[in-house]
Structure 1
Amino acid sequence: MNQRWRRYLPLYVLIAITVLPIAAAYIAYYIVPPSGRTNYGTLIEPQRPVPALPLTSVDGAEFDLRQLRGSWVFVMVDGGDCDSRCNEKLLMMRQQRTMTGKERDQIERVWLIFDNAPLPIVLMREYEGTHFVRTALPPLRDFLALPDTAGASLQDHIWVIDPRGNLMLRWPKSAEASGVKRDVAKLLKIAAGWIRIDPR
């Protein structure tokens, strides 16, 4: 028995090295209680799977938010006229993605536009790579988690959908870039141990 154990010891070590990071990431993400976490944003608990939403790209094609499964997705909501607060959110999403460096391809950005106001071409060029998607407000209110405070608005926040297709985090109104950056770094680190999900 001892000889057999010694013979397979390298295999056991290899399995442990492979499995432990994945197990640790799973435990850190799903099992550690919220009080043990130090997130800047607010965790959505329970997490909400992305439903079928009535979405249309600005070019008129149907858009399914679930097609981005396999990536981290930053989501914001605003009208097409895009005031200064809207621009700040677009800039935040772009900068946070850029600051991840070589990991930026793991992040998608979605702007859910709740009206038919035309989008300025300059704005679309400035935030190229963002998915510009039109929808209605009622389905978003049912899906996107708002804080339980008076006057809370969908336009106030940026949300995060994880690679498994679950709404899992909400950043506060007028979020600080440093806090968002810490959260993004933690999320990417945790996900590094996950088995890659086929978005199909």
Structure 2
Amino acid sequence: MYLVIAICASPLLFSYLAYYVIKPTGRTNYGTLLDPRLYPMPKLNAQLLGETSAVQELDAYKGKWIMLEVISSDCAKQCQKSLYDMRQLRLTQGKDMDRIERVVLITDQQPLETMLLREHDGAHFLRIDPKVLQAWLPVEDGTTMQDRLYLIDPLGNLMMRYSVDADPNKIKKDIIKLLKASSIG
């Protein structure tokens, strides 16, 4: 009888030990978590590139996860690789890829290469005043907004940032965990 009681009580005992005694030592996310209260989403008054050229706000994409990148019109090799990685990160989500929108903010008034728009069909390219972004997006000393990939949750909260040259496989794992844990978006 004691053996049966010990077998039945052992999962409870092990779960108690795992939760209260053995604490995880590492962090589980790859990106840098941001406090959304410090970075409320401003009105961007961004101009959507394309046929309509209408004024667009990020609120238009609320309800979906947003991968946000800031570029200049002369998108060099690193910029193109980053846009490619962003596209592939969305595609690797399989059936959940419709929960993610790609938004690219352009900070100057120079024309953007048409081929870049075609290669990244489905991404939303918005032209924006860089002063608005500087007041909103956080950067560390020695970096710029163009050095980061930002993640915005379906409620419109800026919540995570990655380095542009971050490992896409690790970012993918973060996104998979977020989409699995999130019932919105």
Q: In which range does the TM-score fall when normalised by the shorter chain?
A: 0.7 to 0.9
1:155 to 119, 132, 146: 146
2:126 to 112, 127, 133: 133
Partners of 1:73 and 1:133 lie apart in 2 by: 13
CA separation in 1, counterparts of 2:133 and 2:175?
23
Aligned to 1:26: none
- Please tell me whether residue 119 in structure 1 is matched to residue 112 in structure 2: yes
- Structure 2: unaligned runs, 5 residues or longer: 1-24
Deviation at 1:145, TM superposition (A): 1.5
Q: Deviations over 1:89-135 (max 9, x none)?
A: 11111000000001100000011001112122211111000001000
Give the structure 2 partner of residue 98 of structure 1. Answer: 91
* Partners of 1:162 and 1:37 in 2: CA distance: 20
Work out the CA distance in 1 between the residues paired with 2:134 and 2:160.
15
User: Aligned Cα RMSD in Å?
Assistant: 1.6
Alignment partner of 2:70 out of 77, 93, 96: 77
Q: 5+ residue gaps in structure 1? A: 1-34
SS of 1:188 mapped into structure 2:
helix
Match of 1:45 in 2: 35
- SS of residue paired to 1:49: coil
Distance in 2, matches of 1:126 and 1:50, equals 28
> Secondary structure at 1:111's aligned position in 2?
strand
TM-score, length-scaled by structure 2: 0.80
- CA distance in structure 2 between the partners assigned to 1:134 and 1:98 by the alignment: 24
Deviating 4+ runs (over 4 angstroms)? none
Q: Identify which range, 95-104 or 44-53, moves more after superposition.
A: 44-53
The question of whether the paired residues in 1 share the 8 Å contact of 2:109 and 2:127 is answered with yes
C-alpha deviation, 1:46, in angstroms: 4.1
Paired letter, 2:90: R
Return the letter of the residue paired with 2:32: T
The structure with more radius of gyration = 2
Partner of residue 172 from structure 1, selected from 151, 160, 163: 163
* TM-score of the pair, normalised by structure 1: 0.75
Q: Percent identity?
A: 41
